Amino acid sequence: MLVLTPSAQRQVDARCVRDYGLPTIVLMENAAAALAAAVLDELNHANAQSVLVVCGPGNNGGDGFAAARHLHNAGVPVAIYSTGPIESLAGDARVNAHVCAQMRLPIVVAGEGVDVLTDLRQTAALLGAPGMPGVVVDCVLGTGLSRAVAGELAEVIVAINALGRAGARVVSADVPSGLHAGTGQPMAEGPGEDPHAVRADLTVSFMGLKTGFLNPGAGEFTGDALIAPVGAPAELVERLGTQIKV
């Protein structure tokens, strides 16, 4: 099994462009397609119909916008909650957000001073399906997380966990938001004194497992882990990653 440090994953992205001329938006598209396929499986297993995608301010959020497009094209009722304005996004994430907007997918942008859990529930109500969304897709924070998460993003993580406790299946893109990909330690503020992270039922880990997933305590946040290739040259990923026996 292949394991990648956060640094190695960033190197793969950079060298795909530099050494192979492979645009990062291609990697994002492949990651999003794999994520959407995993969500479709979760919907089938849970006998559920609708999906709420929660998108953060970086490329992890871009994966979410692109996955939402794939789910919509597959006939799934999908709504998107964005932690910030689309105009504040950059690069590949902004491209995919604008495509979703042009497709007129339901997008709700976080409002100042609004309870985040209420905001998420109101976004889910746009799905037109009774009850909670069948699956919540966590695309808030990715492997670039390097410091404690506070404020609104921490509130979003707490709210996603609340939806999970209420019965929604939670699928995280690449790494559960708030979990340090290198150490497997939670880093987001939450109720009580302990740091928190999204508690996923399934984590779709792009290219390989993250080194932090090997931490014995990480499993309560990652849930099941599924490795999804994203189209990066296999020899590059293998060179920068580490093979382990399980």
pTM of the model: 0.93
Residue ranges and CATH numbers for the domains of the chain are 23-166+175-201+214-243 (3.40.50.10260)
Q: Residue 110's pLDDT is what?
A: 86
Label residues 101-133 b or e (16+ Cβ within 10 Å = b): eeeebbbbbbeeeeebbebbbebbebbebeebb
- Which of these ranges, 40-49, 58-67, 100-109, 112-121, has the smallest mean pLDDT? 112-121
Q: Please choose, from the candidates 244, 246, 243, 239, the residue with its C-alpha nearest in 3D space to the C-alpha of residue 8.
A: 239
3-state secondary structure 220-240: HHHCEEEEECCCCCHHHHHHH
Structure confidence at residue 132 (pLDDT): 73
Q: What is the pLDDT of residues 104-139, one digit of tens each?
A: 999 999 875 557 777 777 777 777 655 578 899 999
